[in-house]
Amino acid sequence: MNITTSIRDDGVAVLAAEGRISLVTAPELRREVQRVVDDGHTRVAMDLSAVAFIDSSGLGALISGLKTARAAGGDLRLAGAGDHVTRVLRLTNLDRILRVFPSSDDTYRD
């Protein structure tokens, strides 16, 4: 998995993951969310449009990121989830906890 991080003009940290989020790569995702929150970017958009696979460890990393962002007064929102990721989120009912948007540009329009 590769993660590319960018900061939008409105201060939202966009983390774009590519590949598989699994037991092997989940710690990297946790660390990157922690790093951007520690840098003061508490609104995080996780772009999953290039993620082909996610397992329970990956889901745990997303929940951990959500807790990290919320503890700092922000939020973590998902964007661009493909069919596999969307199916896994629905099967685990995590789509009720993690807000999913069509694109990272849509995540913090409210």
Please report, for the chain, the start and end positions of each structural domain, with discontinuous segments joined by +: 2-106
- Tell me the pTM: 0.94
Closest CA to 85 of 56, 65, 43: 56
pLDDT in tens, 32-77: 999 999 999 999 999 999 999 999 999 999 999 999 999 999 999 9
The CATH number assigned to the domain with range 2-106 reads: 3.30.750.24
Is residue 89 pLDDT above 80, yes or no? yes
Whether 88 contacts 56, CB under 8 Å: no
Is residue 110 pLDDT above 70, yes or no? no
Mean pLDDT of 82-110: 93
For residue 99, give the H/E element and its range.
none
What the block records as the tokens of 52 is 């082909």
- Environment class of residue 30 by beta-carbon count within 10 Å: exposed (0-12), middle (13-18) or buried (19+)? middle
pLDDT category, 109, cuts 50, 70, 90? confident
